[in-house]
Chain A
Amino acid sequence: MAEILLKTNNLTVDFKIKKSLFGKPGRLSAVQNANLEIKRGEIYGLVGESGCGKTTLANAILGFVPITSGSFECFGHKIDAKSSAAEWRDVRRHMQTVFQDPYSSLTSRFTVWQIISEPLYIAGERDERVLRERAAALIEKVGLSLQDLDRYVFEFSGGQRQRIAIARALITNAELIICDEPTSALDVSVHSQICNLLLDLREDFELTYLFISHNLSLIKHITDHMSVMYLGEVMESGSTADIFKNPRTPYTEALMSAILEVNPKTQRERIILTGEARSPIDPPSTCRFANRCPKATELCRISPLPSAVEIAPEHFARCHFCAEK
Chain B
Amino acid sequence: MNVLDIKNLKVIFRTEEGFVRAVEGVDLHIGEGERVAIVGESGCGKSVTSLACMNLLTTPPAYVTADSFVFTDHDGHKHNILEKTENEMLALRAEEMAMIFQDPSTFLNPVMTIGEQLDEVFIYHMNMKPKDARECSLAMMRKVGIPDPEMRASQYPHELSGGLKQRILIAMATSLSPRLLIADEPTTALDVTIQAQILRLISERCAKEKMSLLMITHDLGVVREMADRVYVMYCGKIVEEGSIEEILKRPQHPYTKALIDTVPGMDEEVDRFVQIPHNVPHPMHKPQGCYFSNRCAYCTDLCRTKQPPLFDRGDGRKIRCYYTPEELWLKSY
Contact = CB atoms under 8 A, between A and B. Distances in A.
Interface of A: 49-50, 157, 159-160, 187-193, 195-196, 199, 214, 216-217, 220-221, 244, 254-255, 258-266, 270, 272-276
A235 to B, nearest CB: 13
Interface string B212-233: 0000001111101100000000
Interface stretch (B122-130, B136-144, B262-270, B318-326): B262-270
Interface in B255-304: 258-260, 262-267, 270-277, 279-280, 295
A264 B270 CA distance: 18
Nearest to B163: A276
A192 B273 contact: yes
Given A157-B280, A214-B192, A260-B219, 5 more contacts: A189-B41, A189-B276, A191-B273, A262-B265, A274-B197
Contacts of A193: 275-277
B131 interface: no
Contact of A196 (B41, B191, B249, B272): B272
A249 to B, nearest CB: 14
18 contacts: A50-B191, A187-B218, A188-B262, A189-B295, A192-B273, A192-B275, A192-B276, A199-B271, A217-B263, A217-B266, A258-B193, A258-B195, A262-B224, A262-B248, A262-B263, A265-B265, A273-B193, A276-B164
B159 to A, nearest CB: 12
Interface string B170-206: 0000000000000000000001111111001000000
Given A187-B280, A216-B192, A261-B221, A199 B262 contact: no
Interface string B93-115: 00000000000000000000000
Contacts, number: 110
Given A255-B192, A259-B266, A266-B266, A189 B280 contact: yes
Interface of B: 41-42, 147, 161, 163-164, 191-197, 200, 218-222, 224-225, 245, 248-249, 258-260, 262-267, 270-277, 279-280, 295
Given A188-B218, A217-B266, A49 B272 contact: no
A272 B270 CA distance: 28
A242 to B, nearest CB: 15
Which residue, of A157, A264, A266, has the highest number of chain B Cβ atoms within 10 A?
A264
Given A255-B193, A259-B192, A192 B279 contact: no
Interface class of chain B by DSSP: loop
A273 B265 contact: no
Contacts of A159: 279
A220 B266 CA distance: 7
B238 to A, nearest CB: 17
B8 to A, nearest CB: 27
Nearest to A51: B191
A263 B224 CA distance: 9
Closest 4 CB pairs of A and B: A260-B221, A192-B273, A49-B191, A192-B275
A188 B41 contact: yes
B267 A266 contact: yes
Contacts of A276: 161, 163-164, 194
A260 B259 contact: no
A259 B219 CA distance: 11
A188 B221 CA distance: 12
Nearest to B258: A189
B262 A189 contact: yes
Given A217-B266, A260-B225, A199 B272 contact: yes
Nearest to B201: A272
A260 B248 CA distance: 13
B272 to A, nearest CB: 5
Contact of A260 (B222, B270, B275): B222
B216 to A, nearest CB: 14
Which residue, of A188, A270, A272, has the highest number of chain B Cβ atoms within 10 A?
A188
A272 B193 CA distance: 7
A189 B239 CA distance: 16
Nearest to A193: B275
A266 B262 contact: no
Nearest to A241: B269
Contacts of B258: 189
